[in-house]
Amino acid sequence: MRYISTRASKTPALERKRFCEILLEGLAPDGGLYLPEAYPQVDDATLTRWRGLSYADLAFEILSLYVDDIPADDLRALCHKTYTAAVFGTAAIVPLKKLEDGLYLEALSNGPTLAFKDMAMQLLGNLFEYELARRGEELNIFGATSGDTGSAAEYAMRGKKGVRVFMTSPDGRMSPFQQAQMFSLLDDNIYNIAITGVFDDCQDLVKAVSGDLEFKRKYKIGTVNSINWARLMAQVVYYFAGYFQATQTNAERVSFTVPSGNFGNVCAGHVARMMGLPISQLVVATNENDVLDEFFRTGVYRVRGTADTHETSSPSMDISKASNFERFVFDLLGRDGERTADLFGTQVPRQGRFDLGADPAFAQAASRYGFASGKSTHQDRLATILETWKNYGVVVDTHTADGLKVAKEHRHPGVPMLVLETALPIKFAATIVEALGREPERPSKFAGIEALPKKVRVMAADVQAIKDLIAHACA
């Protein structure tokens, strides 16, 4: 298997990369995103064979199709080390919860940070440690977070050899639970940095430090953002696992509804569908930040400015642009790298938008690729949380509520609808109290975490001071 960039017109054989070459990289050198040169096809006999596998073995089978530069025994061991009941709470790893006939939640949020990002990030931690040891290299992950990504990265990398994590977050702006989760990590290789400012100030710091190429090379600065192909690949596995739990035979189809922000999660669903998993529809659910819903309704992709990027009660979906969306558009345009480069490399930076509404390819987003979409507001979230509690006795988090609201608009008789549960309600307790008048349940391992000792430095948004901190840690 080789990887190509979404912006390359025709990638010469020599420039096509193998998995471990792109594992530690972000964007391709031409600014595009990496994708496999073709999607491996899974036939009926293979699906049948995979039905009975444990999650770790299923992950190994799927990853083997995309990774040919890690020996099979090592890859299998990495999958078994990652997907354990001890880390993810159950032997099924991603159990289905039936709400009613034909409507399920697929639980992706029972990992260490109670959000679905653990599903991929836990594997990434083990892959990074393995590959860095093999190369005899180190990596310093420098990132910015407003919540879920940063804590998932820290819980995945804590104690890993060869990796340090420097994570900036806006001082005092995360929920008390999120702060407690991150700042209570006392591992030597984890550096929590609370920046006196807003999330944008943290992102600007990351840009400034990564933009200093000499510093970046000298201190081996890397990221773990959602455009990383390995994260997407790991997410493909739970679409198969969900399908096997909801069906008895491969003749059955299911649909998925995915609470979406950067289009990473649902893009993995697209990859699973391209591999031949019998998925009927992939329903993209957004909150008030409806960049993606607008595209799937009209063909217009319009990046939002700061003024119309809303702070909502499903904050992990508050995006102004969808960083993984370019991967799907590349497929939609028949893998035309030149056109993809024009849309994302020229039109978006210059005009902040592009319009495929009149392009015949746009109609195929629904007809050929199964995409549908919808949006949800704060009032919808409150109503859905209350209804789900009353009807099924289940408390859902705010992001999952966005998914459920939109899923109900896209159900078809005879096709089970699986809504991906992307976080547990305890992470967003204030909105649960608003909807239900009571606190959500707290898993016992998180009892009293707000009182644990914390390790965090409060710093000004000063590029030089941050560089000094990294250099000092590496000395």
Ligand X SMILES: *Cc1c(COP(=O)(O)O)cnc(C)c1O
Pick 79 or 114: Cβ nearer ligand X: 114
| 231 binds ligand X, rule: CB under 6 A | no
Could you tell me which residues come within 8 angstroms of residue 437 by beta carbon, excluding any fewer than 6 positions away? none
Options 131-139, 169-177, 254-262, 352-360: segment touching ligand X (CB under 6 A): 254-262
Report residue 172 as tokens. Answer: 């005092």
241 by DSSP, 3-state: which? helix
| 264 binds ligand X, rule: CB under 6 A | yes
Report residue 323 as tokens. Answer: 């960083």
Looking at 10, 97, 98, 117, which residue is catalytic? 117
Decide if 277 contacts 240 (C-beta within 8 A).
Answer: yes
Q: What's 306's DSSP letter? A: S
What is the closest distance, in whole angstroms, from the C-beta atom of residue 265 to ligand X in the complex?
4
What is the closest distance, in whole angstroms, from the C-beta atom of residue 154 to ligand X in the complex?
14
Distances (CA, A) of 289 to 105, 137, 296, 304, 371: 23, 40, 14, 9, 18
Options 24-32, 190-198, 245-253, 261-269: segment touching ligand X (CB under 6 A): 261-269
Among 316, 373, 384, 431, binds ligand X (CB under 6 A): 316
Pick 22 or 419: Cβ nearer ligand X: 419
What is the closest distance, in whole angstroms, from the C-beta atom of residue 468 to ligand X in the complex?
31
Pick 245 or 262: Cβ nearer ligand X: 262
Distances (CA, A) of 33 to 104, 156, 217: 32, 23, 21
What is the closest distance, in whole angstroms, from the C-beta atom of residue 56 to ligand X in the complex?
22
Q: CA-to-CA distance for 192 and 424, rounded, in angstroms? A: 23
Q: CA-to-CA distance for 187 and 173, rounded, in angstroms? A: 23
| 129 binds ligand X, rule: CB under 6 A | no
Pick 129 or 148: Cβ nearer ligand X: 148
Considering only CA atoms, give the Rg of the chain: 21
| 381 binds ligand X, rule: CB under 6 A | no
Among 262, 286, 312, 313, binds ligand X (CB under 6 A): 262
Options 13-21, 255-263, 329-337, 463-471: segment touching ligand X (CB under 6 A): 255-263
| 226 binds ligand X, rule: CB under 6 A | yes
| 265 binds ligand X, rule: CB under 6 A | yes
The residue type of 331 is D
What DSSP assignment string belongs to 251-284? T--EEEEEE-SSSHHHHHHHHHHHTT--EEEEEE
What is the closest distance, in whole angstroms, from the C-beta atom of residue 263 to ligand X in the complex?
5
Total residues at interface with ligand X (CB under 6 A): 16
What is the closest distance, in whole angstroms, from the C-beta atom of residue 386 to ligand X in the complex?
20
Which sign does the torsion angle of CA 333, 335, 337, 340 carry?
Answer: positive
Pick 132 or 319: Cβ nearer ligand X: 319
Among 224, 271, 283, 317, binds ligand X (CB under 6 A): 317
A 10 A CB-CB count for 78 gives 21
Distances (CA, A) of 389 to 385, 395, 422, 432: 6, 5, 17, 11
| 261 binds ligand X, rule: CB under 6 A | yes
Q: Does the annotation count 117 as an active-site position?
A: yes
Residues that are catalytic: 117
| Binding stretches for ligand X (CB under 6 A) | 115, 117, 148, 226, 259-265, 316-317, 399, 422-423
